[in-house]
Amino acid sequence: MKKTFLALMVLFLCFSFNIHAAQNKGKVLVIMSNADKLKLKDGKTADTGFFLNEFAIPAREILDAGYEIVVATPQGKKPVMDKDSKNLIFFQNDLKKMDEAQKVADQILIGKNIQKLSNVADGNLKEYAGVFIPGGHAPLTDLMVDPSVGKILAYFHENNKPTAMLCHGPIAVISTLEEPDVFRRRLVAGNKGAAEKLAKGWIYTGYDMTIFSTDEEKAAEKNKLHGNVEFYPEDALKIAGAKIKNGAANESNIVQDRELITGQNPASDSDLVRALVKAMDKNT
């Protein structure tokens, strides 16, 4: 009896230790936009924000893999969800899956838990196992020109730490340029040559990447934005010096080059986060 009891206790302690260990792999920094409006051509604007599935699906898998999530935004305020993203089409027409995603987002995005990006950038970046940037059109407005985003991404690049971005999220790599705001203005003005000069020496030059494609953007202009974007994200990364490897519209496509993992569109949510978790587990 005693031997059986002792054996059961050993098994219990080992099981408890494994659960505890699996829940303490480290922190993942999730960088999100504070923008709720997207400026379009001809003086038009469109409502924007983060896409529900692009945040919540990866967030759930990151948590299930044993990592802690820290959310940071430029203003340190709760990010706004793009109302159009709460659509069954992004959840394989599964209402339960969409409702669960909303619960995950609500549980994580509590105002008091949101960090200010500048504070994170000036803090201890060593404590993060990886960084993740979801999409929606919002990053085109603030994240691509935010110096704190640039500082964080440069650190992850220099230290070869997993860096994942989804849909419009990859536009944030522009923030690592010396003058990302000027680069953006040149894009809007259609001055490709001037923009290219500003990108000389870019840390991601020659990287294979994917981002929401021009074909997908044109469809969004017609069906969602009801206007034209100031520039196409795919063109912006090409001008900066990236090698774009886009796939078919609305089909999952991820590209991994060194520490950088990028996903093309909302359909890439699960494949992207699996690649991120695998890369973080390998590092840890």
For 145-170, give the DSSP string: G-HHHHHHHHHHHHTT--EEEETTGG
State how far the Cα of 214 lies from the Cα of 231, in Å rounded to an integer: 10
Average pLDDT for residues 65-72, to the nearest whole number? 98
pLDDT band at 2 (very low <50, low <70, confident <90, very high): very low
* Percent with pLDDT over 70 in the chain: 92
pLDDT band at 23 (very low <50, low <70, confident <90, very high): low
In this prediction, residue 93 carries a pLDDT of: 97
Q: What is the pLDDT of residues 32-42, one digit of tens each?
A: 999 999 999 99
Q: Mean pLDDT, the chain, as a whole number?
A: 93
Per DSSP (E only), the strands in 122-269 are 128-133, 163-166, 208-209, 243-244, 254-257, 260-263
Least confident of 10-14, 169-173, 255-259: 10-14
Residue 231 has pLDDT above 80, yes or no: yes
The first and second tokens of residue 260, run together, are: 């950088």
* Amino acid (1-letter code) at residue 142: D
Radius of gyration of the chain (CA): 20
Beta bridge partners of 116: 73
Q: How do 163-166 and 260-263 pair as beta strands?
A: parallel
In this prediction, residue 20 carries a pLDDT of: 34
Spell out the domain ranges in the chain.
Answer: 29-283
Question: What are the distances in angstroms from CA 157 to CA 24, 115, 173?
Answer: 24, 22, 10
Q: What is the pLDDT of residues 189-229, one digit of tens each?
A: 999 999 999 999 999 999 999 999 999 999 999 999 999 99
- Contact criterion met (CB below 8 Å) for 213 and 232: no
Most confident of 15-19, 22-26, 240-244: 240-244
Q: Report the run of H or E that residue 115 belongs to, with start and end.
A: strand 115-116
Residue 11 has pLDDT above 70, yes or no: no
The answer to pTM > 0.85 is yes
Question: What are the distances in angstroms from CA 95 to CA 64, 87, 101, 273?
Answer: 21, 9, 10, 21
In this prediction, residue 113 carries a pLDDT of: 85
Look up the CATH superfamily of 29-283. Answer: Class I glutamine amidotransferase (GATase) domain (3.40.50.880)
